[in-house]
Structure 1
Amino acid sequence: MVAITRGTLARKLQSSNKTISTVVSGTVRKQSTKKKTRTVKQCTLSSSSNSTTSPPLQLYNEVAGKSNIIGASKYDLYGNATGREYDLGRDGAFRAYNILIAQLYSDVPFDDVAMQKPIDELNVKGFQVKHVKTEDECIKELASNRYEIAWIISTSRIQNSKFISALTAFHSTGGGIFLFADNPPYTCHASEFLKTQFGITVDGCYQATQTLTYKENGHQQTGNFGQHEIFTGITHLYEGHTICHPVYSTPESRTALLTIATATDGNPCIAVYEPPTTSTEGRLCLDCGFTKLYIDWDSAGTGRYIINTSCWLLGIEKRLK
Structure 2
Amino acid sequence: MRSLPAFLLTTLVLLGFGPDASAQYTKSAGRNAPMVQVERAVRGDDGVVRNKLVEEKAPADRWGNANSNNYDLAVDGAFDGQTVAVMQFYTEAAFDFSLPKAALKEKGFSVYRWVNSVPSPADLEIALAKASQLWIISGSSQLLTPAHVQIIKRYFDAGHGVYIWGDNEPYYADANVVAEALFGTKMLGNVQGEQTLDLQTMPGKPGILQNHLLTTGLEHMYEGHTIATIQPNHVLTPLVYGSAGNLVTAYYDKDGRRAILDGGFTRLYMKWDTAGTARYVKNAASWLVNAEKFGDTVVNPALKRPPVEIAAPVPTSVPTIATGPAPTVAPVASVPSFLATNTIGLLLLALLVAFIGMLYIPALHRQD
Normalising by the smaller structure, the TM-score range is 0.7 to 0.9
* Pair 1:80 & 2:65 matched: yes
Distance 2:69 2:148 in 1: 36
Partner of 2:109: 127
Which residue does the alignment assign to 1:286? Answer: 261
8 A Cα contact 1:272 1:286, kept in partner: yes
Aligned with residue 93 of structure 1, among 67, 72, 78: 78
* Change in 2 beyond 3 A, CA 1:177/1:131: same
Equivalent residue in structure 1 for 2:206, among 215, 219, 222: 222
Of 187-196 and 58-67, the range deviating more from structure 2: 187-196
Name structure 2 gaps, 5 residues minimum.
Answer: 1-15, 36-55, 297-368
Q: Is the 8 A contact 1:164 1:193 kept in 2?
A: yes
Deviations 1:18-73 (A, max 9, x none): xxxxxxxxxxxxxxxxxxxxxxxxxxxxxxxxx96734311000110000123356
How far apart, in 2, do the equivalents of 1:141 and 1:309 lie? 22
Q: What code does the residue aligned with 1:313 have?
A: L
Q: Distance in 2 between matches of 1:186 and 1:173?
A: 28
Partner of 1:150: 134
Name 2:27's counterpart in structure 1. Answer: 62
The answer to whether the 8 Å contact 1:66/1:229 transfers is: yes
Shift of the 53–237 alpha-carbon distance from structure 1 to 2, 3 Å rule, reads farther
Q: Which has the higher contact order (CA 8 A, sep 6+)?
A: 1
1:212 and 2:200 aligned: no
Corresponding residue number in structure 2 for 1:9: none
Cα separation, partners in 2 of 1:188 and 1:64, compared to 1, 3 Å: same
Q: Does 1:104 align with 2:89?
A: yes
Instruction: Please tell me whether residue 266 in structure 1 is matched to residue 245 in structure 2.
Output: yes
TM-superposed CA distance for 1:201, in Å, is 1.1
8 Å CA contact 1:220, 1:261 repeated in 2: no
Q: Write the distance in 2 (CA, Å) between the matches of 1:239 and 1:269.
A: 8
Q: Distance in 2 between matches of 1:134 and 1:53?
A: 47
The normalised TM-score by structure 2 is: 0.66
Matched residue type, 1:127: F
Task: Write out per-residue CA displacement over residues 139-162 of structure 1, whole angstroms, 9 at most, x where no aligned residue.
Answer: 424433001111110111123423
Give the aligned CA root-mean-square deviation in angstroms.
2.1
Partner SS state of residue 67, structure 2: coil
Which of the two has higher C-alpha Rg?
2
Code of the aligned partner of 2:161? G
1:218: how far off? 3.7
- Is 1:167 the counterpart of 2:149? The answer is no
Tell me the TM-score normalized by structure 1: 0.75
Gaps of 5+ in 1: 1-50, 249-253
SS in 2 for 1:137: coil
Match of residue 271, structure 2, among 279, 293, 296: 296
Aligned to 1:40: none
Percent identical residues: 30
Q: CA deviation at 1:138?
A: 7.6
